[in-house]
Structure 1
């Protein structure tokens, strides 16, 4: 919720002084050879999720991130089961039922070191995807089994 402090030009100047310059930011995915394969606008407050199908059980898993003041932050994760490689770590967020037999881990709120990480998209049924709003892009289709870097970067204005 925003609060109006003054009127007209004085309020505009105060807002500019308090908030400072705003940099455009993008979520950028690059292949191991450095080629950019995806760029999505990701201004402050925007979130996105990495979706994939568990390689053993086949069910969908979701990790969700957000741009918080220019930092990539892991916010929550949905896991339908306690299968291999999954599970809640006590003290790292809070686990709640998803109402469908699985669970969400909420309030993780961990900044990703360097605002980037490396992922090797699984081919075929694993289908690693990025979802931002109504946009879903399959990283597995663009770079199957390749090493990709997912980064929150200063964008092109």
Structure 2
């Protein structure tokens, strides 16, 4: 009887695994470009090359209780279109002529936004851990929705 009870408990606990929330990138027609696991507390980044200067810019987000929150950015230069908005995070030097904007802590309305990836030289990418997906390769100049989807499990 004891062996049967242990087997029953193992079966019951097998169905209670915690499912992770997901970062999903879709084209305007709903076609999925990427679906990446982003458990609560994890971070992901959108990376791209500045269209004039060519250096890489990084905007990083965190899954906070199932909500998308912009947490920090790295900007290697004060090039066109790049700037720190006073009162929105803390600007600190990166020691190489650029800067980080830390502690932005800005929730993204609706846990999603639309991005129009640039052509391959700009190379808008999603990075989750070691996984990198090029949105510019998949959908250059198209409207791409990036959304944090809450797990229903």
Match 1:43 to one of 39, 45, 68: 39
Match of 2:138? 142
Please, what TM-score do these two structures have when normalized by structure 1?
0.83
Q: Which runs of 5+ in 2 are unaligned?
A: 1-17
Pairwise CA distance, 1:70: 0.7
Q: 1:31 to 1:156 in 2, by over 3 A?
A: farther
Pairwise CA distance, 1:102: 0.5
Note the alpha carbon deviations across 1:15-35, whole angstroms, 9 max, x for none: xxxxxxx66310000001111
Counterpart mapping for 1:1-157 below 5 A: 24-155=20-151
Cα RMSD for the two superposed structures = 1.6
Structure 1 runs, 4 residues or longer, greater than 2 Å off: 154-157
Whole-angstrom CA distance in 2 between matches of 1:23 and 1:74:
23
Task: State the SS of the aligned residue for 2:121.
Answer: helix
Whole-angstrom CA distance in 2 between matches of 1:104 and 1:89:
12
Say which one has the larger Rg: 2
Contact residue 41 and residue 155 of structure 1 kept, 8 A: no
Aligned residues: 137
Q: Which runs of 5+ in 1 are unaligned?
A: 1-21
